[in-house]
Amino acid sequence: MKILVAVKRVVDHNVKVRVKADNTGVELANVKMSMNPFCEIGVEEAIRLKEKGVASEVIAVSVGPSAAQEQLRTALALGADRAILVEQDGDISSLTVAKLLKALVDKEQPGLVMLGKQAIDTDNNQTGQMLGALTGYAQGTFASKVEVDGDKVNVTREIDGGLQTVALKLPAIVTTDLRLNEPRYAKLPDIMKAKKKPLDTVTPADLGVTVASTLTTLKVEAPAQRSAGIKVADVATLVEKLKNEAKVI
Amino acid sequence: MAILVIAEHSNAALGAATLNTVTAAKAIGGDVHVLVAGAGCAAAAEAAAKIDGVAKVLVADDAAYAHQLPENVAPLVAEQGKSYSHVLAPATTTGKNLLPRVAALLDTDQISEIIAVESADTFKRPIYAGNAIATVQSSAAIKVITVRGTGFDAAAAEGGSAAIENIAAGADAGISSFVGEELAKSDRPDLTSARVVVSGGRGMGNGDNFEMLYKLADKLGAAVGASRAAVDAGFVPNDLQVGQTGKIVAPDLYIAVGISGAIQHLAGMSGSKVIVAINKDEDAPIFQVADYGLVADLFEVVPQLDAAL
Ligand SMILES: Cc1cc2nc3c(=O)[nH]c(=O)nc-3n(C[C@H](O)[C@H](O)[C@H](O)COP(=O)(O)OP(=O)(O)OC[C@H]3O[C@@H](n4cnc5c(N)ncnc54)[C@H](O)[C@@H]3O)c2cc1C
Ligand SMILES: Nc1ncnc2c1ncn2[C@@H]1O[C@H](COP(=O)(O)O)[C@@H](O)[C@H]1O
């Protein structure tokens, strides 16, 4: 069984993002870019399934600018066998990404598609579910456990009330949550070897997909800032302030 | 123009997040209809019919909808959605699981987790863990939207008397099934709607030490939350995580105990009215958003606080 794993290039999660002065977006110049943390978890899970002999091949896919090759090389260093970059600059809606992934699913026929539950830049949390609709496959979103069992996969999901387990017929879509695994780090020799692994580049047109969106971002603003309050000396003062000043207890 | 709100419910009862979503629908303007898809969900449907401002409740009652499997529910919602200008669902894990599947079936983009309605086609939503707020306009014929509960007040649960209409259920897609669930049982208020939240982080040290926070919470009538680090370490279950990728809370009072205040945590609680931080590191970023900061060892001051209340 092949596993397709979707990898997005995003602003690193440690960067404190700043809104541009002209309110057209956030400052992306000279900002550290990385693989979306949820995609790292997806890559790790795919590799573990390969190590267990469940998967035969792991294919990493990214939709983005030429620079997204960096994140695909990281996936290759971690253990993916080959990579595909769908080269496209600018903002791409989750629906368009799902359509591009659908075209690749048709071509590659994976048994599982792994995605992150959400990209930490747009915070959309959409692509996996949309790919589920487009392929007609079942979806196990926000996964904290994935067990392939014959022609189905059991997925334990992190839900608001606790945990839920569903059984999905393969092929299926899985989106990762934080507790699924702890991703490994790439070792230097693997980073060197990854440079020789195949990385193909295609365009949306090659895949027969038109890049379009019904959404326009009119402006991007900084959120209302909270200001630091006061430090209190002890518990008695805290309780007094909460009672008489803030009036919340 | 009519707006379809997808109800969050447990078949037996309506979920509170439905009420905030109805308020968002009212802000868009137009008749508000609520869809209840479930199995044995008459009680939830009756509750939906009583929500103030709801004109009609559609009910699809079928075994295939018992556990809200999106493979079964999404085709139903997409089919119904074609007659509406907007399809809204709460940005709960159920809504987030379902609605993008609906959007793709309708071949339309989704707008996730709106916090404000500017007009019928323009909405505000946080991006980059709330470090920026985007104003997004949609030209889609059917606007598919999830609604962040903390962005909208709850509609009154009583006062309405909407007509209830049964609609035909679709077939079970046959590709997914429910195996089981482990739901947290708690007598404390629901984390996302509690008036007071007491949250613990890695500084709590272990799960047993959370007992201190449970005790404190019970005195305050509070819900208990946690940082990702506390959940990852196994101190508490996942449903307690507050943050960018956990639950979004906006209580009157949020007490952060042994939490550093990473941006991903702040994303989930910085809308709280009053924030208290207890941390032994005076440089912890949590103090930059706290109204009242107490630089102290939590193991000393939490019992003191408990005693003082
Ligand atoms: C993709 C992604 C998503 C994430 N999503 C979330 C999310 O949704 N929610 C979330 O919370 N985090 C999230 N995180 C993690 C986040 O970046 C932080 O790692 C996490 O919030 C840290 O948790 P903490 O504050 O409990 O731990 P730490 O940062 O380790 O802080 C512990 C604090 O406890 C204090 N302390 C220790 N002992 C004591 C004591 N005895 N008395 C008083 N104070 C003490 C320390 O001074 C320190 O400030 C996410 C990260 C990523 C990459
Ligand atoms: N441009 C992209 N390239 C590759 N994968 C993507 C892209 N956008 C989204 N994804 C995948 O979809 C997941 C969820 O993203 P989103 O739905 O946009 O929040 C990500 O974690 C990725 O696995």
Residue B26 has pLDDT above 90, yes or no: yes
The alpha-carbon gap from A83 to the nearest alpha carbon of chain B, in Å, equals: 26
**Best residue in B182, B186, B245, B278 for a mutation probing chain A (most A CBs within 10 Å):** B245
> Among the three residues B127, B147, B166, which one is the final residue of a domain in this structure?
B166
Residue B174: inside a domain, yes or no?
Answer: no
Q: Which of B292, B298, B304 to probe the A interface (max A CBs under 10 A)?
A: B292
**Rounded Cα–Cα distance for residues B274 and B293 (Å):** 11
For residues B31 and B84, what is the distance between their CA atoms, to the nearest angstrom? 10
Cα of A180 from ligand 2 centre, angstroms: 17
pLDDT at A228 over 90: no
Are B9 and B112 in a shared domain? Answer: yes
| Per-residue pLDDT at A11 exceeds 90 | yes
Mark which residues 207-246 of A lie under 8 Å from B by CB: 213-223, 226, 228-232, 234-236, 238-239, 241-242, 246
- Per-residue pLDDT band at A60 (split at 50, 70, 90): very high
Least confident of A197-201, B23-27, B188-192, B277-281: B188-192
Q: What is the rounded average pLDDT of the residues A135-163?
A: 97
- B83 carries a ligand binding annotation: no
Q: Are residues B9 and B54 in the same domain?
A: yes
Give strand ranges (E) for chain B.
Answer: 2-6, 31-38, 56-61, 86-90, 110-114, 116-119, 122-127, 132-138, 143-147, 163-166, 176-183, 196-200, 223-226, 253-257, 274-279, 292-295
B208, B83: one domain:
no
Report residue B305: phi and psi, to 5°: -65, -45
Is B180 domain-assigned? no
Judged against a pLDDT cut of 90, whether residue B183 lies above it is answered with yes
- Asked whether the beta carbons of B261 and B284 are under 8 A apart, the reply is yes
Instruction: State if residue A97 touches ligand 2 by the CB under 6 angstroms criterion.
Output: yes
The answer to whether B112 touches B104, Cβ cutoff 8 Å, is no
Instruction: For residues B72 and B127, state if they share a domain.
Output: yes
Q: Mutation target for A interface from B9, B109, B239: give the one with most A CBs within 10 A.
A: B109
What's A139's DSSP letter? E
Reported as a single tens digit per residue, the pLDDT across B200-250 is 999 999 999 999 999 999 999 999 999 999 999 999 999 999 999 999 999
Longest dimension (CA), chain A: 68
Q: Is the pLDDT of residue A122 over 90?
A: yes
- A36 in ligand 2 pocket by Cβ < 6 Å? yes
For residue A230, give the 3-state DSSP assignment: strand
Last residue of a domain, one of B145, B166, B187: B166
Question: A3 - beta bridge partners?
Answer: A58, A112
| Closest Cα in chain B to A20 | B132
Does residue B256 fall inside a structural domain? yes
Domain, as residue range, for B94? 2-166
Structure tokens at A116: 């992150």
Q: Is the CB of B259 under 6 A from ligand 1?
A: yes
Here the ipTM equals 0.97
Q: Share the mean pLDDT of chain B.
A: 97
Structurally, chain B folds into a number of domains equal to 2
**Hey, is the C-beta of A189 within 8 angstroms of any chain B C-beta?**
no
pLDDT in tens, A206-218: 999 999 999 999 9
Which ligand sits closest to the CA of B285?
1
Same-domain pairing of B155 and B100: yes
Name every chain B residue with its beta carbon within 8 A of the beta carbon of A167. 176-177, 179
Residue B116 sits in the same domain as residue B206? no
B166 to chain A, closest Cα gap in Å: 25
Instruction: Read off the pLDDT of residues B4-22 as tens digits, 9 standing for 90 and up.
Output: 999 999 999 999 999 999 9
DSSP string, A77-114: HHT-SEEEEEE--S---HHHHHHHHHHHHHHH--SEEE
Residues contacting B264, CB < 8 A, separation 6+: A13, B129, B228, B243, B244, B245
> Does A129 sit in the ligand 2 pocket, CB within 6 Å?
no
Q: Please give the average per-residue pLDDT across A67-82, as a whole number.
A: 98
User: How are beta strands A215-221 and A199-202 bridged, if at all?
Assistant: unpaired
B6 is in an annotated binding site: no
Residue B9 lies in a domain: yes
Provide the CATH number for the domain around residue B100.
3.40.50.620
Indicate which CATH number applies to the domain containing B251: 3.40.50.1220
Contacts of B179 in chain A (CB under 8 A): 154, 165-167
pTM, to two decimals = 0.98
- Report the candidate in A249, A234, A230 with the shortest Cα–Cα distance to residue B293: A230
Cβ–Cβ under 8 Å, residues A4 and A108: yes
At B282-303, the pLDDT tens digits run 999 999 999 999 999 999 999 9
Is residue B184 in some structural domain?
Answer: no
B131 and B232, same domain (yes or no): no
Six token digits for residue B103: 């959007």
**Residue B94: pLDDT over 90:** yes
Give me the amino acid identity at A3.
Answer: I
Percent of chain A with pLDDT over 70: 100
Structure tokens at B293: 């900061």
- Provide the token pair at B227: 């940082």
Q: Which residues, at least 6 apart from A167, have a Cβ–Cβ distance to it below 8 Å?
A: A152, A153, A154, A155, B176, B177, B179
DSSP element (H, E) containing A188: helix A188-194
Angle at which helix B70-81 crosses helix A127-135, to 10 degrees, equals 80
Same domain, B95 and B153: yes
Claim to verify: residue B42 and residue B136 sit in the same structural domain? yes
Full set of structural domains in chain A with CATH: 2-244 (3.40.50.620)
What order of strands is seen across the sheet that includes strand B116-119?
A: A215-221, B132-138, B122-127, B116-119
Whether residue B179 lies inside any domain: the answer is no
Same domain, B23 and B149: yes
Report the pLDDT value the prediction gives residue A227, as an integer from 0 to 100.
86
**CB distance A93 to ligand 2 below 6 Å:** no
| pLDDT interval class at B1 (50, 70, 90) | confident
Q: Binding residue per annotation — B21?
A: no
pLDDT in tens, B118-132: 999 999 999 999 999
Question: Is A9 in the B-facing interface, judged by CB distances under 8 Å?
Answer: no
In a domain, B63, yes or no: yes
| Residue B178, pLDDT score | 98
Residue B173 lies in a domain: no
Ligand 1 atom nearest residue B241's Cα: 9
Q: Give the span between the Cα atoms of B201 and B242, in whole angstroms.
A: 10
Residues B134 and B49 in one domain: yes
CA of residue A20 to ligand 2 center, whole Å: 24
Q: Are residues B32 and B136 in the same domain?
A: yes
